[in-house]
Every structure is written in C-alpha cells, then in structure tokens.
Chains A and B, each alone.
Chain A
C-alpha cells in the first residue's frame, strides 16, 4: 500500500497565496478568472503560466491557477491494512463456524436443535440451514477442520480487531466514524436517496451518517462476537459472562445471529462500494482519493478535532 513517507500535503494544490489561512467555507469554487482577464496583454499570460501565484496588476485580480482535482488522504495505512486483513480472517471465522455448526443441525429430524430457527412462538418458519445448503457449501463431516481453523483464526480476528480499535482511539480517527446526533437523520436521508425516493445527498464528509452507524455497529458486532464466542468456548470458566448473556444456548444464538449480521453487512457494503465506484474503492487500497478541489476536505474535517 502507499508509502507513508511522502509529503502529507494534498497533491494538486499548487501553493496559493493565503491558502493556509483560508477558512474552509471559502474553498467553495471561486470564479477562475474575472471578466476583465480576457483583455490582458500577452506578457502577463506568460507570467501566469510560469508563476501561477496570485498577483494584482492594474486592479485586475487573477486567481492562482490550480488543478481542478486533488489527491486527498482518506484512509490511514493502519486502517487499510487492518480492513483487508479482517476480510479473509472474518471469512475464515464464518466458514469454519459453519463447518462446526453443521454438526448440530445434522440429524435434526431426531434432535431438532432449539437454537437456530426463525419463527414466532412455537411456530417455526425455517430451521437454519436446510440440507441442500449444507451440501452446496460442502460442509458435512468437516467439523474438526472447522474447530481447528476457528480456534486458530480467533486469535487473528481478536488481535486485528483490538489493534483496529486501539488505532482508532489513539489516532483520533474514531471521530470521523462514531455517529453523532445528526447521524440518524442523515442515515435516513442517505437511505432514501439510495432507494431513489429522495434527491440530494447531505454534504459528504469522510463518512455519511449511514456509514458512521454501519461501521461503528460492525465494530461493536465484532466485540459481541468475541464476547459471545468466549462465553461459548469457556462456559464454565467464564460462566458469569455466559449467564449475563442469558445462558449457554442464548449465547450461541447471539453468536449465530451476529454472524448473520456480518453477512448482511458484507452484502450491503459490497453493493455500496460497487455503486460508489472505483475512486472510492481505490482509496481503501492506496489511501488516496481524487477529489474536486471544491469538495469538502477530509483533512479539514480532521483538523476540526
């Protein structure tokens, strides 16, 4: 991923006079030139090309020539690494979890499991999962493989998650991610726009309200998976945790539905990333996003801490 030793300055901003002190609001597209500029004599044109700085001559104001786009640092290196490490690790946890869980849904005709069903009261709509599903994913009789991977990769999942949360706290990046009072309203707006029920997105910061809620929730779900997982893994030694979660079977139920939650998050996340386009996706690899100069700056958002 990108070399962090490069200049932190946003590429594309030619040094413009007074830029450093320019308040954020004024970034909004100034007219590139005045009407009088067309009457400028030739030598001045040359000067503009060579020295693209603001200058005043004969009361004609020429704005500095800058690129119309810039590269903006969106995702820090640590976040990109941990994001991508988490992807195969969480996949392995879910996959190995399915291999383990198959063993309980096996011969359900004889001992119907009480835990993973969808239903109301005593009416069961569906037991998870049907036989064809297990066959399709080739899960049957691979329990020991599942247990082996699950109890190996749990360390990677936990350590990566712990590092991620620590990094967010230490760097302050959490402020861009944790929802605030406006996030819920904004999330509704964003969702309506996504569903083509409304036009006009709210001003996009690093993350919009829906993203803030989703990304924070998925981190909390990760914590939940670790806690419920531990309470299932060592239900005697940490039986107080298991009891707090509502008992062993309840903890399993929670562990399972959190997993379904991850799968749901994954689907929405991938669809949204595809819709957001390459520039956005690339930023999760390179760290940088190409933005129009007049778009709100994430660096500016960071500076408001």
Chain B
C-alpha cells in the first residue's frame, strides 16, 4: 500500500468523522428548530383561537389594554397636539354618519347631562332627561342623494334611510288629532324609536327611563369663551386632515357642571357621550375631557356645523382618533364604570390615544 493511498484513506476517515459530527449537531439543532417552530405556531394558534373579547381574540384585547397602561404611564396624555396655520386647514371629509341620519330640528336640541354635582340646584334640572323628545325634520326627497353623491359621506356604509326616519318624519306630518293619538300610543309603548340601530347595537350605558339630570340648551354650552384650533384630525383608517375648529372647551363645560363626587370625595373616572338616538356612543377618561384641546365644536372651517359633521355640537379631541370625536352629542354623563364604546364593541381599542 502506498503512502498516498494510506494518507488519503486517513483523510477520508477524518473527513467522515467531521461529517458525522456535523450530522449529529444538525439532527439536534433541527430537532430544536422543529420544536421551536411548533411552539411558535402553537402560540399563534392560541391567539387566533382564543375566545373573543369584543370581536377580537382576548390576547389581542389584553395587548391593547397593556399598551394603554404603558401609554398612560409614559405620557399621561399631557402632551399638546401641534397646531397649524389656518392656510393648511381643509374641509374635513365625512366618514361615518351613525346617529346623524335623520336631520335634527335645531330647536329640539338639548344636551343631557347626567351625574352633575347637585344637579337639582340648576334651573335646567329635570327629573327624567330621557323623556326629552328630539324632533327630526322630514326626510328630503332622495335624502342621501345630494350629500352622498357629492362625496359628502362615506359610501362604504350605505345609510339606513328606510324605517329609521319614519318616526321623526311622521311626527311632523300627521294631523294634530292623529298626532295626539299617536303620541298616546307611543307613551303606552314606553319608548320611542329603539336605540342603538347600528351594527354595534344598543349601548350598555343607555339611560334608564327616569334618570334625572340637566337639559342644556345650545346657548348654555356656547356661552363659554369661544376657542379656535387648527389641528390635525386623524382617522384610524389611516388618513388625516388639518381642520379649523371653533367652539368651547369641554373643560369649561365640565367646570360649570362638575361631576358629583363619590362617597370618598374622589371624582368619577369616566365620561360617557352618545347621540340623541343612541346609535353612536363613546367613553372617555375624565382627565382626557379636561385636556385644553378637547373642544365642543360648533364651527368647522369658519362655518357652523352641517348635519353630516354632527350639528349642532360635536367633539374634537386631537389626542384621540376620530372615532372618539363623536358628532351630534346628545348626552354627557359622568360615570365610574368603564363606559361602552361603539367601535370598541366592534373590535377597536377603547383608549385610542394618539
């Protein structure tokens, strides 16, 4: 046997040893990798198949809540949103018309306030705010046409015009005798149009009949110092627009009609708002409502609000996404329980802080 051959054999043997060692390591590593991959997939499955919490898997809801806690700790929502020059402002697009589909008769507008400290001392006090009847104008011919066709509201969701408007409309058109009879009938039925007619359904915070509170006229709200803001409105869909807003600070209203203190002297934690028909509703932290840029808006771009933007009174809150900036506010209630929220019920974050 030649030396070359011998050496070659030895080299081959040594190489085989290296290959065997490599194979041994590979088997172990790929086994670990397979277990890790299975674990990762299991983790995904666990999230995806978890029972839902307001339409998203519970772990995702928990993550949103964790993010909320982190954001509160880190930022405390003290920050002020940047403001812009008036030249940058533009017409806000209409996106979502829940609670607005019928045209409210301006004279019938009242802002209900519930949970106000010593409410019965105010002249606007009533023993049952839910008894107030909002009046709606008769439906226009092809109501949606002028607005929808001109791009004034979002056609992603077709407005539910049928049925919804009939009650308000009929109240305006019936003969007095029939109207009286119809009013008696409605009274016997206990309630007017069913509340919460949109996808998220009725709010858990819908007031029980017989809830006492204040019925404020628009003048009671607009009497506070007029403020203007040019800030960016941000929709969770992704788009944003700089808008010129005019109105009064929500904080001024709250200062004038403060929340009733609890037994231990502390304030309730939350504020709940909804449209007069209860179709759209939002919950807020009290401190967010006290933010200096939280505005009760009566004017946009220097003109009074139109129907699709929530006339006569809407909210602008630059530290929250648009879905918290409720239009046509019918009720402001102080509460210590986490209030229901339209889009939270449909899977979005309750906090929605920017």
Contact = CB atoms under 8 A, between A and B. Distances in A.
A212 interface: no
Contacts of B80: 236
Contacts of B121: none
Contacts of B7: 32-33, 48, 65
The 9 A-B pairs at the shortest CB distance, nearest first, are namely A144-B347, A104-B238, A148-B60, A67-B14, A152-B63, A286-B29, A237-B75, A12-B18, A103-B237
Given A68-B11, A248-B234, A239 B81 contact: yes
Interface of A: 1-3, 11-12, 14, 32-33, 37-38, 40, 45, 48-49, 52, 65-71, 84-85, 88, 92, 100-101, 103-104, 106-107, 110-111, 113, 115, 143-145, 147-149, 151-152, 155, 234-239, 243, 248-249, 252, 282, 285-288, 290
A257 to B, nearest CB: 15
A152 B59 contact: yes
B239 A234 contact: no
A223 B91 CA distance: 35
A39 to B, nearest CB: 9
Interface centre among A92, A104, A144, A149 (most CB of B within 10 A): A144
Contacts of B36: 84
B33 interface: yes
Nearest to A87: B40
A17 B82 CA distance: 72
B349 interface: yes
A47 to B, nearest CB: 11
Contacts of B47: 149, 152
Given A147-B236, A288-B22, A290-B22, 13 more contacts: A12-B18, A14-B14, A48-B7, A48-B10, A103-B238, A104-B239, A106-B156, A110-B151, A110-B155, A144-B55, A144-B56, A145-B56, A287-B25
Contacts of B347: 143-145, 147-148
Interface string B270-314: 000000000000000000000000000000000000000000000
Contacts of B55: 144
Nearest to A153: B63
B14 A12 contact: yes
Contact of A285 (B26, B75, B237): B26
Contacts of A33: 3-4, 7
B2 interface: yes
Contacts of A234: 71, 75, 353-354
B21 A71 contact: yes
A12 B56 contact: no
Interface residues of B, number: 63
Contacts, number: 175
B79 interface: yes
B173 to A, nearest CB: 34
A110 B319 contact: no
B239 A67 contact: no
14 contacts: A2-B25, A2-B28, A11-B22, A12-B17, A67-B17, A103-B238, A110-B154, A110-B155, A144-B55, A144-B348, A155-B63, A237-B77, A237-B353, A237-B354
A236 B4 CA distance: 77
Contacts of A71: 18, 21-22, 25
Interface in B311-347: 318-319, 346-347
B151 to A, nearest CB: 6
A67 to B, nearest CB: 3
A52 B7 CA distance: 10
A148 B15 contact: no
Contacts of B203: none
A287 B29 contact: yes
Contacts of A285: 26, 29-30, 33
B71 to A, nearest CB: 7
A286 B70 CA distance: 38
A104 B93 CA distance: 13
